Structure 1
């Protein structure tokens, strides 16, 4: 089974403790989901703010993951995984990143160019645009009234998915890691920067840190796969890089 692990303010500073516990005691299959929630003056669905609430009217909840700590969290886990666990531990974020370095479209909606296929069906038959968008304004209808196929093909659902690409900030469009990131989930694009034409993802700094950090190892694994060799060869390669680096620092 797959362990779905939420990363938040309470555990974002202890990446190896989290990773090793899941690896050693829970499952070799895992994914890390950053908790990113806002609350506003007009609260919808409990205390959490709808994605449509303007940036200036909603604040990030204190339990949410923070950009740089989240980036360091992923980097630390990757550094452990790439040296000892490739081929025996499977982390969704790393699998998806390797897809990007192979030039493949992402199978994870948050890092795909467009989205809109991860619908959320409630117990009463209500269908929502996404499990991140279970708010009244994103209700597509009810499967007792229209088929799932018809609801999924609604024009407003298609438009929502294409907005992920069409409303990408200029900074993202020019970013060196756009091919791997694609701006993240639109729900979390509420970080306002003066130089930007559109708000960027709350975890932008963290994602850029992570994708930049893994570039050399991912490039090696992608080349190994394209040559018909196992990507786990990266473990020996990176140990050799570490050895060379330690030799230089000792001089």
Structure 2
């Protein structure tokens, strides 16, 4: 079987916020009225079946909606099942993407003890964040998110920040980047907001034409060369991985869409969280296993939808990097962001290639030094571009040799640290 990870929606699209741009909130309508919560039966079954599949690392990604609506007890049970069925299966990693507003001391203690990697959504300072990320009564959520971020830091929970780039903040790259810097956020992820209405027109909250490319170019210029060794940006890490290993760490940059399965609260399995709809339901984890799911013709066809590319793509020098973009961004067969990606790569590719060459040389030098008689592994040495430095406790760095992993992803060794701070050091 091909390696894959799980993106689990234990509370479906249920959420305590009403963000203007949320694409998943409407998914609740597929499952009827009322609260949507994953049962212990579904949780245990998906865990048992997933951990029975031989893989270098088993990654559980908990998302929503808002996954913390399930309560701490649900995740304590999840970890219990992981230990019961994963005692001999190798490393297990957990990540949790949250709006951060419900985090408290109990959450902090659990997430730290269970070594979860937590992503928290922040769209910039309050004047930008509170345009889109709202409570049900229309209040901005920024103050509550900052309290949640404080909980993570107080309990030393490994975390990163996800920023959705929409019409609200598309012209404020410098404000957003500098604000995250002021917060001390060195692990960042920027996601494009591209949504179309039933009439095929761009939604008012989505990125304006040309703004994604401008935003990324500005972020890169703020990051390079000053912050390349201090700040990790997931897209930039993936580009470097593609240049160094031939394999990106972001699914949109790959040539195949079969990277993970989405598990809904009721056990329903889908190929992508952007495509949770009845016609793409692959089955239910209560009645089928992952081997059968991977062999489905529907799944095979889904995975190959990125090909063939349009003639314009085939002639583009940046196709090996963007791979035609995520299919959800395609409009009329071509990515809505096609020109944006070209602007970004044209502006940055030379410097990315220089960074990749420097990183490769540094890795080779470190490997050669490690082979010398009497060599002692060092800690605290200068880090590679986009990486951090410092001593690492726990599993030995370099212990993982499986499929490519993003430097800001959970380390496959199961330490609970980011890959770049553990085996990717």
Q: TM-score per shorter chain, which class?
A: 0.7 to 0.9
Question: In structure 1, the residue corresponding to 2:171 is in which secondary structure?
Answer: coil
Counterpart-to-counterpart distance in 1, 2:196 and 2:222: 32
2:243 is the counterpart of 1:85: no
Asked if the contact 1:109/1:118 (under 8 Å) is kept, the reply is no
Asked if the contact 1:3/1:26 (under 8 Å) is kept, the reply is no
Provide the residue aligned with 1:126 in structure 2. 268
Offset, 1:108: 0.8
Provide the residue aligned with 1:172 in structure 2. 313
Q: CA RMSD in A?
A: 1.8
2:241 is the counterpart of 1:99: yes
Provide the residue aligned with 2:84 in structure 1. none
Q: Output one character per residue of 1:96-124: Cα deviation in whole Å (capped at 9) or x when no partner.
A: 11123225111211011112223211111
Offset, 1:35: 1.0
- From 214, 226, 231, the equivalent of 2:348 is 214
Aligned residues: 209
> TM-score, normalised to structure 1's length?
0.78
Question: In structure 2, the residue corresponding to 1:36 is in which secondary structure?
Answer: coil
The answer for unaligned runs of 5 or more in structure 2 is 1-158, 364-382, 387-425
Q: If each structure's helix is expressed as a fraction of its own residues, which one has the higher value?
A: 1
Counterpart-to-counterpart distance in 2, 1:161 and 1:138: 12
The answer for unaligned runs of 5 or more in structure 1 is 41-56, 193-198, 234-251
- From 178, 187, 190, the equivalent of 1:32 is 190
Counterpart-to-counterpart distance in 1, 2:352 and 2:277: 37
Within a 5 Å distance, the mapping from 1:187-206 to structure 2 comes to: 187-190=328-331, 192=332, 199-206=333-340
Counterpart-to-counterpart distance in 2, 1:226 and 1:27: 26
Within a 5 Å distance, the mapping from 1:231-250 to structure 2 comes to: 231-232=384-385
> TM-score, normalised to structure 2's length?
0.47
Provide the residue aligned with 2:170 in structure 1. 12
Asked if the contact 2:359/2:385 (under 8 Å) is kept, the reply is no
Asked if the contact 1:13/1:69 (under 8 Å) is kept, the reply is yes
Provide the residue aligned with 1:21 in structure 2. 179
Provide the residue aligned with 1:71 in structure 2. 213
Specify the structure having the higher radius of gyration (Cα).
2
Asked if the contact 1:120/1:131 (under 8 Å) is kept, the reply is yes
Asked if the contact 2:329/2:336 (under 8 Å) is kept, the reply is yes
Provide the residue aligned with 2:302 in structure 1. 160
Q: Output one character per residue of 1:45-65: Cα deviation in whole Å (capped at 9) or x when no partner.
A: xxxxxxxxxxxx422211111
